[in-house]
Amino acid sequence: MATGIKDTARAVEAAALMGLLPARPRVLALGEPTHGEDALLGLRNDLFGQLVEQEGYRTIAIESDCLRGLAVDAYVTSGTGTLDEVMECGFSHEWGAYPGNRELVRWIRAYNDGRPAADRLRFAGIDAPLEITGAASPRQALTALHGCLAARVDAHLLPCTAETLDRLLGPDERWTDPAAMTDPARSVGRSAEAAELRLLADDLVSLLDEQTPHLLAHLPRDGWERARLHGRTATGLLRYHHWMADSSPARMNRLLSVRDAMMADNLLALAARGPVLVHAHNSHLQRERSSMRMWQGPVEWWSAGALVSTRLGEEYAFLATALGTLPHRGVDAPPPDTLEGLLYALPQDRCLVDPRRLAGALGDPRPAPRVSPWFGYAPLDPDHLEAVDGLVFVKDAG
């Protein structure tokens, strides 16, 4: 078996990756089994550089706040702000503190310097404005969408005034109360004001769509795309808050589903602009149904990758990443009879494996899934290999 697996491994390079795929995908999804590891971020950066030079990729997207990401994109494309400022304010989940993300932003800005606009690289966040403890107020997205429309269409077409939005939104603290994550009664997501805001947001998005020819005649295409992003985010956040106020057993399943549906919509919008490399957790990019255990029990949902894959078909490709060790997290060398253990015996520090050939080398039954001693690392399920287009293995991430 070891010889058969060795024959499937090659260098993690763009050319080798494209050799595994039927064609260049519009969305190339690079998953990771844990967050924030320098080895994984460095591999991502190296691969993106090769995809830019060899395959014409011009956008990278990561699992970070889509609205905050606009500041990073403005910096890398036009030099707006400073590197320190965008690393502090342009990322959610504290991703801006990681050296690998800083190096990515620095490199994109240097690459773009002096290039024509059509050839510049772009940056995007695909996640909704959410944190583990709760969700943002819909104020930023709603008011930005309303402001864009109010400046360019007849006032009588608008479903409401800015003052009405402000009154219905109320203080942002009502929306961002962290206690609402575990206590639905603390959420304002099913209040009368929230219900009215959902209708108004829907009308504003509809008006944006209806007025597209007029708006594109008076607005740069990037401005129109930004307005659509604000519309998706506003309606998605209001939907998320609605389910935060739910007390049924479906609550967490719906919250996770709504989040990944928002990621999928953002990815599809980016893909309409051109090929994109997206980097996020394996569970957000895989084709198989995702699952995790939370305080109230197990939850399942369809990931952004599963949703995008059904829309794009072969234009979506998923690279899963598996790890050998994370010594600083107590994750030591994997048992030799697990998938990670078999890959750990390979001589390379990191390699790209053809999952179809690997599945054949493993035979049946498949090895049992590895058990992680640390909650922040999710081993790869060997039964998912048929739904993976490429497997990246990193021997030691510490």
The per-residue pLDDT for range 168-210, each reduced to its tens digit, is: 999 999 999 999 999 999 999 999 999 999 999 999 999 999 9
Peptide bond preceding 365: is omega within 30 degrees of 0, i.e. cis? yes
Query: Side chain identity at 341, as an amino acid letter?
Result: G
Residues with pLDDT less than 50, the chain: none
pLDDT given at position 41: 98
The overall average pLDDT reported for the chain is: 95
Number of Cβ within 10 Å of residue 209's Cβ equals: 11
Q: Which of 271, 305, 269, 302 is nearest to 285 (CA)?
A: 305
C-beta separation of 170 from 193 below 8 A: yes
81/103 Cα distance (integer angstroms):
16
C-beta separation of 51 from 59 below 8 A: no
The radius of gyration of the chain from alpha carbons, rounded to an integer in Å, stands at 22
pLDDT given at position 360: 86
C-beta separation of 145 from 208 below 8 A: yes
pLDDT given at position 45: 98
pLDDT given at position 3: 55
C-beta separation of 100 from 45 below 8 A: yes
- Provide the token pair at 224: 């129109």
pLDDT given at position 2: 52
pLDDT given at position 100: 98
| pTM (predicted TM-score) | 0.96
Query: Side chain identity at 81, as an amino acid letter?
Result: G
pLDDT given at position 297: 78
- Provide the token pair at 252: 């967490």
